[in-house]
Amino acid sequence: MAVQNRRMPASPVNPDDERVLERFKPTTGLFVGVAGLLIAAFTLGYVVLSVHTVVGLRLGLGAVLGAVVVWVTQMRPRVTAYTHDLHVKGSLRDARVPYVLIDEVTMAQTLNVWVGERRFVCIGIGKSLGSDIRQRAKKERQGSLLGASRSREFSEKAEVAAPDQTAMSYHTFVVTRIEELVDQAKRELRRRGGTTDGQEVRRPYAVPEMVALAVTGLAFVVSLLL
The torsion defined by the Cα of 18, 191, 178 and 136, in degrees rounded to 10, comes to: -160
Domain boundaries, given as residue ranges, for the chain:
21-76+206-226, 81-195
Looking from the CA of 208 toward its CB, the CA atoms found within 13 Å total 4
* CA 58 – CA 40 distance, rounded (Å): 13
Cα–Cα distances in angstroms (integers) from residue 20 to residues 26, 42, 84, 94, 210, in the given order: 16, 35, 10, 16, 25
Bridge partners (DSSP) of residue 167 are 4
pLDDT at 226: 84
pLDDT at 140: 58
Task: Flag whether the pTM goes above 0.85.
Answer: no
One pLDDT digit (tens) per residue for the chain, 226 residues = 445 444 444 444 444 467 999 999 999 888 999 999 999 999 999 999 999 999 999 999 999 999 999 999 999 999 999 999 999 999 999 999 999 999 999 999 999 999 999 999 999 999 976 555 555 555 555 555 445 454 455 445 444 433 344 468 999 999 999 999 999 999 999 999 988 888 999 999 999 999 999 999 999 999 999 8
Q: Are 66 and 75 in contact (CB under 8 A)?
A: no
Q: Which residues contact 184 (CB under 8 A, 6 or more apart)?
A: 10, 13, 99
Say if CB 85 and CB 96 are below 8 A apart.
yes
The DSSP-derived string for 70-111 is HIIIIIS--EEEESSEEEEE-SSBEEEEEGGG--EEEESSSE
